[in-house]
Structures are given as structure tokens and as C-alpha cells.
Amino acid sequence: MSSKNNVNGQASGFQSMTPIRPGEEHDLRAYLEAMHENGSPLARLPRTHMARFVIVENFHNDPSWGQRKEEHLDLWYLIFTSNLDGDIDSYLDELCEALAPEAREIWGRCVGCPEETKGDALKAYLKHNQIDCGFFYAAYGSSTAAEVEAALAQRDQVIAFATRVQGLSDEELQRSFLAEFGTT
């Protein structure tokens, strides 16, 4: 697979999979599950559309499925994935600064994570553990998160405007439109 498979339009898909230090699994899970309480730190990364942290305990083995030998993970793993704008490299630069306050509690509980859980050291660690996409789908891959957010806000604005200006004369309508949306 190549890194081209991580791209769709201007959007990219990043994924890392890092082994969790034995004994830290439950604390990490509790920390991640509580992260929304004060607002997700991922909101500090404006190039993020959607992202997740997932803890994988093991592979699923079912004897009835005809798998000759079972396979188990040696440790629990932390998966981080992000659907983001632009290139992964510069996104990781931003992530490793913006998420520095949380990174010690997250990747700092993983095997091999550098002592300094930020900046270039953290970036190198995440890149070392990167898993390339095989196929990455983005429904609106040509639009950035900022463009999506602006378009959504504008759509609300148009709906409110259309409701408000019903019954106005053409002159009043044009004046209101220019006041609301300006000109270019």
C-alpha cells in the first residue's frame, strides 16, 4: 500500500496503532471516556473533521469460522484515527503541539512513547506506528472542515433570511440581501 491511499480529494486519513503499557489499560480508557466532559481536545485542531480513540483488547477468534490457528494481540492497543484536511505531516505537527497537554495521559501510557510527549518526538512516534489506509472514502473530500462549518452557518443564515424577507418589494429585498450577505 502507499501513502496515496490515505488521500481523497484534499482530505487525508491518519491512523496509528500503539501498544498500551500493561497496567495502564483501564486508566487510559477512563481518561479517554471522560475527555468530552470539558470539551474534546480535538476541537483545538481546526483541520479535523472526525476523529476517534479506540482501545482494542484482542482479535476475535471463533472456532466455527475455519481459522486454522487462533491469533491474539500480545498487549492491548490504542488506535487513533483522524479524517483531516491537507497533508498528514503538517497535521501531526499541529497535533503534537495542540494536544501536548493531553498527550502524556494518552500516548504517554503506550509502550515506546518518548518521555517528551509533544513536538517532533511525539510526531516521530506516531509516524512510526502509522497504519496506511487501503481505501479511504470521503463524501465531501474537496471541502475543508472550516468550509463545511462556514457553509452550514450560511445555510442557516439563508433559511432565516428567506423567512424574514417574504413579502418585501424588490428594492427592499435587494437592500436587505446586500446588508445580510454583502457584495464581492
Residues 24-43 interacting with another protein (rule: CB under 8 A): 28-29, 32-33, 35-37, 39-40, 42-43
Least distance from another protein to the Cβ atom of residue 100, Å? 17
Residue 19 C-alpha cell reads as: 501498544
Decide if 45 contacts 99 (C-beta within 8 A).
yes
Lay out the site mask for another protein across 94-123 (x = CB under 8 A, - = otherwise): ----------------xxxx----------
Q: Is 11 exposed, middle or buried (0-12, 13-18, 19+ CB in 10 A)?
A: buried
Task: Please tell me whether residue 10 binds another protein under the rule CB under 8 A.
Answer: no
Task: Please tell me whether residue 138 binds another protein under the rule CB under 8 A.
Answer: yes
With H, G, I as helix, E, B as strand and everything else as coil, classify residue 129: coil
- E runs forming strands in 28-123: 48-56, 77-85
Site for another protein in 63-92 (CB under 8 A): 64-67, 69, 71, 74-75, 77, 79, 81, 83
Task: Please tell me whether residue 54 binds another protein under the rule CB under 8 A.
Answer: yes
Out of 10, 49, 104, 105, point to the residue binding another protein (CB under 8 A): 49
Alpha-carbon distance values, 97 to 45, 92, 93, 104 (Å): 10, 9, 7, 12
Decide if 152 contacts 159 (C-beta within 8 A).
no
Out of 55, 93, 100, 116, point to the residue binding another protein (CB under 8 A): 55
